[in-house]
Amino acid sequence: MADIDMAKDQINGSEIVIKALQDQGVEVVFGYPGGAVLPIYDAIFQQNKLRHVLVRQEGGAVHAAEGYARSTGKVGCVLVTSGPGATNAVTGLLDAMLDSVPLVCLCGQVPTHLIGNDAFQEADTTGITRPCTKHNYLVKSIEDLPRIMHEAFYVAQSGRPGPVVIDLPKDILMALGDYTPPTKVKHKSYNPQVKGDTKAIAAAVKMLSKAKKPIIYAGGGVINSGPAAGQLLKQLTQLTGAPITLTLMALGAYPASDKQYLGMLGMHGTYEANMAMHDCDVMLCVGARFDDRITGRLDAFSPNSKKIHIDIDPSSINKSVAVDLPIIGDVGHVLEDMIKVWKSTQSKIDAKGLAHWWKQIEDWRAKDCLSYIKDDNIIKPQLAIERLYELTRAHNDVFITTEVGQHQMWAAQHFKFDKPNRWMTSGGLGTMGYGLPAALGVQVAHPDALVIDIAGEASILMNIQELGTIAQYKLPVKVFILNNQYMGMVRQWQQLLHGGRYSESFMDGMPDFVKLAESFGLKGLRATHPDELDDAIKEMLASDNSVILDIAVSPEENCYPMIPSGSAHNEMIFGDDVKVDGAISEDGMVLV
Amino acid sequence: MSDGVYAANPYHEEERRHTISVLVDNEPGVLARVIGLFSGRGYNIESLTVAETRHRQALSRITVVTSGTAMIIEQIKAQLNRLVPVHSVSDLTIEGPSVERELALVKVVSSGDKRVESLSIADIFRARVVDSTNESFVFEIVGDSGKLNAFIELMKPLGLVDVSRTGVVAIARGPKGMAGQD
């Protein structure tokens, strides 16, 4: 009798999966069905709490979940089938890995007895995804399933966030087992440090207070730590009076409208930000990782500064740039403690030195490095972004996603963000095709917000199929295409590095984006002249439907300022008027 | 921290050999994670051994001998530490004294004087004969890698035909155990 009672409480693996997702607070799953995950899709059909968004290709599902995760701070959830379903997800998983986005990706797998048999739609998913996930699991027994489901969410969002894959053989999904809810038991091996060392924090405050030319360089860790970290960053910046610059990943972590903000730094960052990084005497790095797009030539990177590095991931410390004072911990906690110590010790940066530093920075600012040559007859891409920004300012909440390339950098330079979680872009991996599915994920999370994918005409085609998802769920995503007919950034590099030989960077056979939009039941608009731009943007914003606005921009515009690869922060180039041939050294040529 | 530029930088370019001991969950794929980390990030593996050490806790110890600059070694340890099934990482080369041992099976084919000489050298090295035919010996030798190298060098002119080595295992001297093991 007891056995029968026990069996009665048992549910099948698919139901365990759904129950665990619900207990982990998952509201939406982005996915695509297939043979190996049919039991989960059956379980989804028989419940109403968990919403499933059907994408058009698994790669889109992962980027959509990334957009969802980065705009909400929650874990994004993906469901794909075995074999090609899982391999299509790989790019998105690596994208999430490099940009530290918390995801849980459930992959179907052939039944356990067929694993290793080259079965239909079999792939060694854990093998393939091992280097592009934070962790992955192959569930081999129904008893392990509830624990692994909960552990995956713990791993995805604790410490430095990242993607976690759970490979689910079909027989496990159909086997009966007991569900166990999440527990608060300490993980047996993975327990990242969140509180910073108090001695190191005191030393950091002392070092910063003695600076004459301080700079705060903040990265995506501030966003990942949560909105409180952004507030604390603002507080510390204002307490110290130091200038602050943000990485591509961190835009919005500090209000762009504030006077202490120098703009983005790095390869296409502002002159004032990069020069201040180069000339500073104390650098406080907050949740950033000295990426090669940030540092430029390493041996010339900020040569005279002492560097303090706050990071939750010890492997980020001293990876490429040796720092003087590392602080391991969550930036939110560490900033909070730093502010406490700063106040209690009544620390103050020498006013005279700081004033002198700011005067120097104002001189750099006066260069107005983001200016460009206006044109009355052709739409400059920078102008298009500026007008988009101006015309969306009245909107309550604006979320921007981008693809990858020149348009991405122009968006980062000319669109101003005052709040975190409003800017979704593929930074580390540089995944063309990220923006459209990411935008739909953002829109699913924020149905009433204005969500715009700033795109290039080449990138958008990489995941153009997601227009179908946008149409199916009536998501009012706006697609803002800067159409220059080239893979613009490739063409720019070919111009600067390869003697203007535009090898395969021009695409003929482009679709008519207006008709393409209409074929999906969406609205299509086009602007080809500066006089049409504002009206087209206004019409796009006024529509309740999803809109593609195709903007013909000047085809051979380059994105400046630029630190050529292999060059230092103080060796920026500003425009085509400077001699660009040979702007990049032989050493720089081999770099990407 | 001194005042000079980069004076506090403890790094220099000299490469050094380190023996790193990693305590991991004994679960499928854990070795692939460690090896994949080394190959994916371009680190060297000079030798690697792995076996279960605590059956009840399902823990294995991976001993890896690697070489690199101080900055690379620090990266290797940090990267190993952030793998989810890794319980602890210790660098036996810098964390106090340790004992290192390796075992080799060495097959020598010879006759006459050479056969006698191989036996007497084996005696000096305290290698044991674990297999013998009329024309061959298999020696078992235990020691640090240097001792094994020396023995193998000496056997070369005496008819060495095959060597099988275990790779290095190591443990810290003294009473203290590694974190994660009570």
Residue A101 · residue A69 · CB < 8 Å: yes
The whole-number pLDDT of residue B124 equals 97
Average pLDDT score over chain A:
95
Q: Could you confirm whether A504 is annotated as catalytic?
A: no
* Residue A27: count of CB within 10 angstroms of its CB: 15
Q: For A485, how many CA atoms within 13 A lie in the half-sphere containing its CB?
A: 11
Q: How many residues does chain A have?
A: 592
Residues of A in contact with B40 (CB under 8 A): 131
Instruction: Supply φ then ψ for residue B21, to 5 degrees.
Output: -110, 130
Q: Which residues of chain A are at the B interface, by a Cβ-Cβ cutoff of 8 Å?
A: 126-127, 130-131, 134-136, 138, 140, 155, 159-160, 188-190, 303-304, 306, 313-315, 317-319, 322, 324-325
Of all residues in chain B, the percent with pLDDT exceeding 70 is 91
Which candidate in A10, A121, A360, A472 is catalytic? A121
Q: Which residues of chain B are at the A interface, by a Cβ-Cβ cutoff of 8 Å?
A: 1, 5-6, 8-11, 25, 28-29, 32-33, 36, 40, 71, 74-75, 78-79, 81-87, 180
Widest pairwise Cα distance in chain A: 87
Q: What is the pLDDT of residues A69-120, one digit of tens each?
A: 999 999 999 999 999 999 999 999 999 999 999 999 999 999 999 999 999 9
DSSP 8-class letter at B72:
H
Using DSSP's 3-state secondary structure scheme, residue B108 falls into strand
DSSP per-residue letters across A526-538: EE-SHHHHHHHHH
Residues of B in contact with A134 (CB under 8 A): 84
**Rg, C-alpha atoms of chain A:** 25
Q: What is the pLDDT of residues A387-442, one digit of tens each?
A: 999 999 999 899 999 999 999 999 999 999 999 999 999 999 999 999 999 999 99
Instruction: Supply φ then ψ for residue A446, to 5 degrees.
Output: -130, 75
Distance of CA A586 to the CA centre of its chain: 31
Q: Could you confirm whether A199 is annotated as catalytic?
A: no
Q: What is the pLDDT of residues B71-119, one digit of tens each?
A: 999 999 999 999 999 999 999 999 989 999 999 999 999 999 999 999 9
Place B29 in a pLDDT band, splitting at 50, 70 and 90: very high
Place A578 in a pLDDT band, splitting at 50, 70 and 90: low
Place B3 in a pLDDT band, splitting at 50, 70 and 90: very low
CA–CA dist A264, A256 (Å, integer): 9
Lowest mean pLDDT among A76-80, A140-144, A356-360, A571-575: A571-575
The whole-number pLDDT of residue B56 equals 84
Nearest to A385 by CA among A337, A348, A417, A338: A417
Residues of A in contact with B83 (CB under 8 A): 135
DSSP 8-class letter at A296:
S
Cβ pairs A/B, distance under 8 A: 58
The residues that bridge with B101 in the sheet, in sequence order, are: B169
Which candidate in A489, A540, A562, A572 is catalytic? A489
Type and span of the H or E element at A339: helix A331-344
- Two structure tokens written together for A542: 């006024």
Nearest to A94 by CA among A431, A458, A566: A431
In one-letter notation, the amino acid at residue A564 is P
Nearest to B118 by CA among B89, B93, B151: B151
If you average pLDDT over residues B2-26, what whole number do you get? 71
- A508: Cβ contacts below 8 Å, ≥ 6 apart: none
Q: What is the pLDDT of residues B132-163, one digit of tens each?
A: 999 999 999 999 999 999 999 999 999 999 99
Which residue of B9, B25, B79 is in closest CB contact with A315? B79
Say if residue B180's pLDDT is above 60: no
Place B7 in a pLDDT band, splitting at 50, 70 and 90: very low
If you average pLDDT over residues A169-198, what whole number do you get? 96
Residues of B in contact with A161 (CB under 8 A): none
CA–CA dist B35, B22 (Å, integer): 12
Are the beta carbons of B78 and A315 separated by less than 8 Å? yes
Q: Could you confirm whether A140 is annotated as catalytic?
A: no
Q: What is the pLDDT of residues A512-567, one digit of tens each?
A: 999 999 999 999 999 999 999 999 999 999 999 999 999 999 999 999 999 988 89
Residues of A in contact with B10 (CB under 8 A): 322
Which candidate in A15, A19, A24, A58 is catalytic? A58
Q: Is A485 left (phi over 0), alpha (psi -120 to 50) or beta?
A: left
DSSP per-residue letters across A408-469: HHHHHHHS---STT-EE---SS--TT-HHHHHHHHHHH-TTSEEEEEEEHHHHGGGGGGHHH
Are the beta carbons of B78 and A155 separated by less than 8 Å? no
Instruction: Supply φ then ψ for residue A491, to 5 degrees.
Output: -60, -40
Are the beta carbons of A318 and B85 separated by less than 8 Å? no
Q: How far is CA A252 from each of CA A219, A264, A400, A401, A464, rounded to the nearest angstrom? A: 10, 10, 11, 13, 27
Distance from CA of B30 to the nearest CA of A (A): 10
Say if residue A587's pLDDT is above 80: no
Q: Could you confirm whether A234 is annotated as catalytic?
A: no
| Chain A residue nearest residue B37, CA to CA | A131
For an interface test with B, the pick among A188, A289, A309 (most B C-beta atoms closer than 10 Å) comes out as A188
The residue that leads in pLDDT, B57 or A153, is A153
The whole-number pLDDT of residue A9 equals 83
| Chain B residue nearest residue A322, CA to CA | B9
Are the beta carbons of A315 and B86 separated by less than 8 Å? no
The whole-number pLDDT of residue A129 equals 98
If you average pLDDT over residues A273-296, what whole number do you get? 97
If you average pLDDT over residues A247-261, what whole number do you get? 98
CA–CA dist A238, A254 (Å, integer): 11
Say if residue A122's pLDDT is above 80: yes
CA–CA dist B24, B180 (Å, integer): 9
Of all residues in chain A, the percent with pLDDT exceeding 90 is 93
Q: Which residue has the tokens 């050298």?
A: B121
Nearest to A507 by CA among A456, A549, A464: A456
CA–CA dist A67, A86 (Å, integer): 19
Which candidate in A120, A340, A474, A538 is catalytic? A120
Nearest to B95 by CA among B20, B182, B16: B20
- A71: Cβ contacts below 8 Å, ≥ 6 apart: A399, A421, A422, A424, A441, A442, A445, A446
The whole-number pLDDT of residue A579 equals 52
* Residue A160: count of CB within 10 angstroms of its CB: 22
The whole-number pLDDT of residue A1 equals 46
Q: Is the dihedral of CA A172, A177, A183, A187 positive or negative?
A: negative
If you average pLDDT over residues A181-186, what whole number do you get? 92
Distance from CA of A197 to the nearest CA of B (A): 17
| Chain B residue nearest residue A307, CA to CA | B6
Using DSSP's 3-state secondary structure scheme, residue A160 falls into coil
Are the beta carbons of A319 and B75 separated by less than 8 Å? yes
Which residue of B36, B78, B81 is in closest CB contact with A130? B36
Are the beta carbons of B29 and A315 separated by less than 8 Å? no
The residues that bridge with A183 in the sheet, in sequence order, are: none
Place B1 in a pLDDT band, splitting at 50, 70 and 90: very low
The whole-number pLDDT of residue A585 equals 67
